[in-house]
Amino acid sequence: MEKLREIYIFVAFVVGVGCLLLAAFQAWSGNMKSAAGLGTAFVVCGIFLFLSQIKTFKVWEVQVELRETLDRAEEIIGRLRRLAAISARASYLTISWGNRLGTPTAKEKQVVLDDIDAQLVELKVTPEERAVIIRPWVKMIKADFFFLFTRVVRGIAPLKTTELVAAMHATQSQAATDASMAHSDLITPWSKKTNADFKAMDRLENKSLSAVIDEWMPEKGGWLSDKELAAVVLFKKEILKQADDSEKKGGYTKESAEFFDALLKHEAEKSEEIWNASKK
């Protein structure tokens, strides 16, 4: 088909040129009617040539417009991707710091962030860009698990103190008095060390959660007995599992969010559970 079109164009061109030359010759000879007829034939050949090129011209024009449209669309998508990344980062930062307020729940927050994450995937935001976006949230989750752990463990201290004081009053024995005083002597410096001077957020910035918990925990031979310390270590493993799973995901998993929310509501009960477990 393309070959026939080329032949048609060639013939129309040759005929048109011939008509033009003959028209000029007839006009020079004074035969104006023949010259006019040949001139008309030349124009007709020119029209045929133009019509044969309309498809080509039109296709070329559409191709140019399509290319420009595609370039524009890619530019718009690029801008949308950047705006989505900025918006997502703002959302992650807002929810991360809002996590200090305690509401909504970790599960509810993570549902919102999972929706944002899905939009980032659809817009083909790179893993590197996503890592930057979610970093504040991941850091805050690690911090939340740390402080949750510390509050539960601190909750064991008054339980032990109450029991030691009760034993001292009940028995009036020197051994009970010594045990109560020894506990006080051991827990006081530890409490001072692990309060404001500990600077947990600074440590968590460059160290793993496990390492910072180890630095915070009472040492062997401290205010916790070996059995009590062993019970706390089991709780530490629970915390680390949920925190590690969350870090791998880049946000709370369903299980870790439920674990965190439930424990947040029942910190005192967890302290008592660990304390009772240490007596078995």
Q: How many angstroms separate the CA atoms of 6 and 4, rounded?
A: 5
Peptide bond into 127 cis (omega under 30): no
Q: Which residues span the domain enclosing 44?
A: 2-76
pTM (whole model) above 0.75: no
Question: Last residue of a domain, which of 59, 76, 93?
Answer: 76
Q: Say if 119 falls within a structural domain.
A: no
Residue 108 in domain: no
Same domain, 148 and 261: yes
What distance in Å separates the CA atoms of residue 49 and residue 12, rounded to the nearest whole number? 7
- Whether the predicted pLDDT of 35 surpasses 90: no
pLDDT digit string (tens) for 218-237? 999 999 999 999 999 999 99
| Interval 125-176: pLDDT, tens | 788 888 887 888 889 899 999 999 999 999 999 999 999 999 888 988 998 8
Helix axis angle, 267-277 relative to 226-249, nearest 10°? 130
Name the DSSP letter for residue 199.
Answer: -
Please count the other Cβ atoms lying within 10 Å of the Cβ belonging to residue 118: 10
Per-residue tokens: 98: 């809002």
Per 3-state DSSP, what percentage of the chain is helix, strand, and coil (rounded to 5)? 85, 0, 15
The DSSP call for residue 224 is S
The residue ranking higher by pLDDT, 186 or 88, is 186
Of how many residues is the chain composed? 280
Total domains in the fold of the chain: 2
